[in-house]
Structure 1
Amino acid sequence: MKNRRAYLMLALAVALGLGAVLLASRWLLRQTPSAAGRIVVAAADVNLGQRLGPDMFKLAEWPADALPPGALRDPAKLNGRVLKTSVLRGEPLSEAKLAPAGTLGGLSALIAEGKRAITVRVNDVVGVAGFALPGNFVDIIVHTQAGEGQQRERDISKIVLERILVLAVAQEVSRDDTKPRVVNAVTLEVTPEQAEHLDLARSVGTLSLALRNQVDPKPGVTGGATKGTLLGLHPAASAEPAAVQAPPPAARIQVAAAPAPPRHCIGVINGLRSSQECL
């Protein structure tokens, strides 16, 4: 009798335990139906300008309350698209990181709408010792000779373009490498007007790049540097001589006439005529 009661209690405990497990699992399923979502992430490190292939992305579970803005859920729409920014393995893909549909890839995919890419020749000095890397911003300085001989004092160095984005150095567009690379050409992103100015600047003088802070938008408004401003010299005197002023007219001195000495007169009577003679 006692063993039977023990078996019943054990069976009841097992049944209650199974019921508790089932209730807990059903409660958890109700609480987390949307706790995770499936989005497209990079399956490997992909550099900007590359065309995406099926082996470069995959679907991954992602918390629903932490989904990145614009996250993509349909991998079929990504095949053949071109990245305009580098992504790391496991990083979510979004429309903001993709070039417009139909882009063929390469450097042209990185150029913003309304902009142009132009390449300038540099060396280890002009190229900021190789620290002008893709993704950095630079200012363009031109040094031009305004004259010859004595007019060499009019030579000037002037910042002609500011906050210009470096798209590529040599033939590389990767923005992940922070090591300096000394190259002989730098490709810059400019507007059409800036492209004209840059082309004229490199034809009339020598160019230099000035690396600037990426988050500093303040313009560097300057008047340019000349030999006179560099050495603190005074500007040359005007070549036109000053007009010679005529001397003021001499003052006229009026001399008062001396008073005539007093004269003594006498009357003379000659017959019927009379006259007066003065001494």
Structure 2
Amino acid sequence: MKRTRGLTMLVIALLAGAAAVLLASILMRAQAGGTTKVAVAAADIEIGARLSPEMLKLVEWPPNSVPPGSFSDANGLEGRVVKTSLSRGEPFIEAKLAAVGAKGGLSAVVAEGKRAMTVRVNDVVGVAGFALPGNYVDIMVNTQNEGTKRVDQDKTISKIVLERILVLAVAQEADRDATKPKVVNAVTLEVLPAEAELLDLARSVGTLSLVLRNQIDPKPGATEGATKLSLLKDEPARPASAPTVVVKRVAAQRPAAPLAVRNFECVEVIRGTVKTNECF
């Protein structure tokens, strides 16, 4: 009888504990307001891709941490174009999507009011492949000043003409998540219309170079350009055939003091038939 009573109390305790856990869960969910549906990427999506149904899925998301601009209906996302790469499980937000009706490809990535322009590069001009999509670069041109004559001084100058230019793509790739350097022969840049004109003129009058800059550094680099005179610090070049003359400074020597003049007295001495003069 006692054993049966003990088992009964144990069962009641277990049921009471399970009920308490269930009630606490219900209360917590009620306080949190339940969950909501959020559209996320069903797989990794590259920049400029047009969304299709197999790229989308809805997941439960805590309402207190729903990202601003997210979507609760996947039907409104079909056909939209992404402006940045998305990882699997990452929620879709309006800021990462191109405008409704935009076509897929690189054109959807170009910001409003800007243009995409491609320049030819090599392993040196392209910063050894480190100028990747999403990076910012300065553009430097090496050219000659207008009106240079043979009798004039050398007018060669290197000058940064455009600053903080966004790299949209390298070759035919626009993946901004790539970190491995890639040497290519063309780089596509995002520029304003006026900057596109400057860039086109710069590549026609001289040699271009890309200068990789810090991603979060917005400060302009105010420079006047480098010339041969500034490179050599305005010092005239010495002819290679000119001999090097070394001048040594020698201390002046004092003249020796004149010797005192002594007066000698001489006498004539006769020894037999020999006659001599002796002075003392």
Deviation at 1:193, TM superposition (A): 0.8
Deviates further, 147-156 or 95-104 = 147-156
Alpha-carbon separation, structure 1, partners of 2:23 and 2:38: 26
What is the SS of the residue equivalent to 2:220? coil
Cα 1:144–1:62 change in 2 (3 A) is: same
Q: Deviations over 1:45-103 (max 9, x none)?
A: 11110011111121112223322222221111111111101111111111111111111
Identity %: 59
* Alignment match, 1:233: 234
Secondary structure at the aligned position of 2:161 is classed as: strand
* Alpha-carbon distance, 1:180 to partner: 1.1
Match of 2:26 among 25, 29, 45: 29
Distance 1:19 1:217 in 2: 63
Moved over 6 A (4+): none
Q: Which amino acid aligns with 1:30?
A: L
Within 2, Cα distance between the matches of 1:73 and 1:12? 48
1:85-234 equivalences under 5 Å are 85-146=84-145, 147-151=148-152, 153-233=154-234
Q: Which has the larger radius of gyration?
A: 1
SS of corresponding position for 2:231: helix
RMSD of the alignment, in Å? 2.0
- Change in CA separation of 1:152 and 1:129 when aligned onto 2, cut-off 3 Å: farther
- Call closer, same or farther: CA 1:179–1:20 in 2, change over 3 Å: closer
Contact 1:72 1:93 (8 Å CA) reproduced = yes
Question: Distance in 1 between the 2:149 and 2:91 partners?
Answer: 60
Name the TM-score, length of structure 2 as normaliser: 0.77
Unaligned runs of 5+ in 2: 237-280
What does 1:65-84 align with in structure 2 at a 5 Å threshold? 65-84=64-83
Per the alignment, do residues 201 and 42 of structure 1 end up closer, same or farther by CA in structure 2, a change over 3 Å counting? same
Contact 1:169/1:186 (<8 A) preserved: yes
1:138/1:210 contact within 8 Å kept: yes
2:154 alignment partner, SS class: helix
TM-score using structure 1 length: 0.77
- Distance in 2 between the 1:231 and 1:17 partners? 90
* Equivalent residues of 1:137, 1:211 under 8 A apart: yes
Structure 1 alignment gaps of length 5 or more: 236-279
- Deviations, residues 155-198 of structure 1 (Å, cap 9, x unaligned): 21110000000000111101111111111111100111111111
